Amino acid sequence: MTSVIHQPLHRTLGLTDDEFAQIENRLDRAPNDFELAVFSLLWSEHCGYKHSARLLSRFPTAGEHVLQGPGENAGVVSVGGGLAVAFKVESHNHPSAVEPFQGAATGVGGILRDIVAMGARPIALLDSIRFGDLGEPHQRWLFENAVAGIGHYGNCVGVPNVGGECVFDPAYRHNCLVNAMCVGLLPADRVTRAQASGAGNLIVLYGATTGRDGIGGASVLASQELSDEDADKRPTVQIGDPFTGKKLIESSLELVEGGHVVSLQDLGAAGLASSLSEMAARGGAGVDVHLDRVPLREAGMVAAEIIISESQERMVAVVSPDKLAAVEAVCAKWELACAVLGEVTSSGLFRCFFDGEEVGSIPASHLTEAPRYEVGRRARFPTAAPRRDAPSEGTPADVLRLLGSQNIASRAWVYEQYDHLVQSRTIRRPGLDAAVLELPGGRGLALSLDGAGRMARLDPCTGGSLAVLEAARNVACAGGRPIAMTNCLNFGNPEKDEIGWELAEAIEGMALACEALGTPIVSGNVSLYNETDGEAIHPTPAVGCVGLLEDVETIPGAWRAGDVVLALGSGATRLDGSEYEAICLGRTDGELEQLDLAAEAALVAALWQLAPRVSLLHDVADGGLAVALAESALWSGVGAELDLGWDTVTLFGEGVGQAVVACSPEIADLVGNAGVPSVQIGRVGGDSLFELELEELASTYGGLARMMEAAI
């Protein structure tokens, strides 16, 4: 007879023996099962940042515009005129790998609530998504449903999706990435913070009712590696209701604008357990919560299920007793459940009651101060592959192969499923570099979200810098002066030395680039354990950038016949890590160039300063200069005569900052005196480019849509 070995409860909940010993030591007793469940979630990687918190302190977080840096639901920066912008990017990777529609949809819902919790009205969404090869039916299913989930939630709540990126690489075959960014507007003097304060103030839960969906999501899905058996984890994926989400946004803003709440906190990962303990810890207070008062949509839920449920569309508010009637009236107006769960105390304890009995009592600081681990110090540094010869000359066929490839073809199939004009602020639509939204007084907000995976795999430090620099260049090409950034760090298992080293190196590279640009990181998210059966994704830092324009009338548009075309920036000197090598040569190894960060920052500054005077600016990124020129021609509907030749490094090299500039001949000297290298490479005119008709380029560029339509 085979004996069954039962693991201790703490191990089944994802806690190590040492962590369980720390819990006993902190409590000076053994935790009961309810308390252990709460600890397991708050000390999960997703909530506790056990392997990343020390590294994240490397980021610059202060600056002239910063009103709120990391530590709250979102970062907030002043944009002048009495206005501020709240923004953040977060991941919903593991849920999307299990159930892509709901995983992606609730990722959007969660980031919307983070922005609302700061007292801001959401005005824009962006997304960074990554999947395996679209030649595989399962990858197409994941991609199609994740895009549908993003579009469904954003379209229903009426927040425009204005930008982002999508990437396809076998490294994401088992672990797709779905990172969602939200941007909101609020008065600069009305930043709402999530902290419990004022003993005797009430804890009010409002929004959707609570069910069993999402239970364990933070620890089971986002803090562990996946395996081929994870179809069984579908019940842990949250279910979104965007129509309730819309009511929650409007009611929350009405409560804030009416001065009816002391603070707000959304309910996301770990549900009430995380939200209430974090509010208590931030405010140096305690909370007493009666879980039997939580409005339920499923009968028979026990205290542990209620406290850790991750049901969507819920918020918690701290309310003074004299404002309770006003809060209840607002919730009734919007037909939302509303219940007083308890009150703020001065005890410092997170105490939970059920049917009149105390089921758990934990100092709030014990829950929010998870163990901290060192990572990356004993790493096995990867050895760069030997450089190999590449063809010295490219061909028109190479341009077509790149332009029609999965990672470069037009993303119109994606963003045309999103409403990017709702709210009537969108001045520059998706399709080229950054989007622009109009602010009062004719000023603008430029937004981008970009990541680095393929490059970061070869050199995570350089890859981290490249993610920051591309986001900044995209904003600058739309005329925006970058003022602040947010980030989402997507990596494998940090307990493995090499992965820990990748994480540390990428953060260092990002920090160095931010310091060179003078742009702080004010918010972010870490998504680790993106591995399946020991196979990790590429180290993938994604960076969102916010930039300011003084006048939206000066946004660069399209190049025009007769314009001079210039390449601004020094450009690449090798092909290593480029899409050309992957698509045309079938290899993805090599060694990246070391960046001159001062030169990269000078290029970004030159771009946004030149923007009001030129016809077009476009960042050189995937596919190199050749693809940037082709995209510029297709965006503008006009070809160009080029004096470039067919040198492969010049045309297809990547990894060093460069941009395409088109301007009138009278302005060309101004571009040449911008303080960065520039070279005139042609003149706009005609209906061809690289010996190829624009019609053929456009047809090839639409390859992603044809691939998806053929699969339906």
pLDDT at residue 79 is higher than 80: yes
b/e per residue, 18-56, with b = 16+ CB within 10 A? ebbebbeebbeeebeebbbbbbbbbbbbbbbbbbbeebb
Strand 435-438: give its sheet, edge to edge: 426-428, 435-438, 444-451, 540-549, 481-490, 521-527
Mean pLDDT of 108-127: 97
* 14-23, 218-227, 406-415, 560-569: the lowest-pLDDT one: 218-227
Mean pLDDT of 86-114: 95
- Mean pLDDT (the chain) is 93
Cβ contact 410:705 at 8 Å: yes
How far apart are alpha carbons 346 and 197 in whole angstroms? 9
Mean pLDDT of 657-677: 92
Structural domains for the chain: 8-43+193-370 (3.90.650.10), 556-712 (3.90.650.10)
Cβ contact 633:662 at 8 Å: no
pLDDT at residue 221 is higher than 70: no
pLDDT at residue 412 is higher than 60: yes
Predicted pLDDT at 383? 57
Q: Is the pTM value of this prediction over 0.75? A: yes
Predicted pLDDT at 399? 97
Which of 629, 652, 466 shows the shortest CA–CA distance to 574? 652
Please give the structure tokens belonging to residue 367. 């829950």
Share of the chain above pLDDT 70, in %: 94
DSSP state of 139: H
Band of the pLDDT at 237, cuts 50, 70, 90? confident
**pLDDT tens for residues 431-448?**
999 999 999 999 999 999
Write the secondary structure of 266-294 as one string of H (helix), E (strand) and C (coil). Answer: ECCCCHHHHHHHHHHHHHCCEEEEEHHHC
Mean pLDDT of 550-557: 95
For residue 263, list its beta bridge partners. 318
Predicted pLDDT at 4? 46
DSSP state of 382: P
Predicted pLDDT at 388? 66
Predicted pLDDT at 227? 52
Band of the pLDDT at 382, cuts 50, 70, 90? low
Band of the pLDDT at 385, cuts 50, 70, 90? low
Band of the pLDDT at 1, cuts 50, 70, 90? very low
How far apart are alpha carbons 238 and 343 in whole angstroms? 28
The more confidently predicted of residues 331 and 710 is 331
Catalytic site positions? 46, 92
Q: Is 389 exposed, middle or buried (0-12, 13-18, 19+ CB in 10 A)?
A: exposed
**pLDDT tens for residues 583-634?**
999 988 888 999 999 999 999 999 999 999 999 999 999 999 999 999 999 9
* Residue 228 three-state SS: coil
Mean pLDDT of 29-35: 95
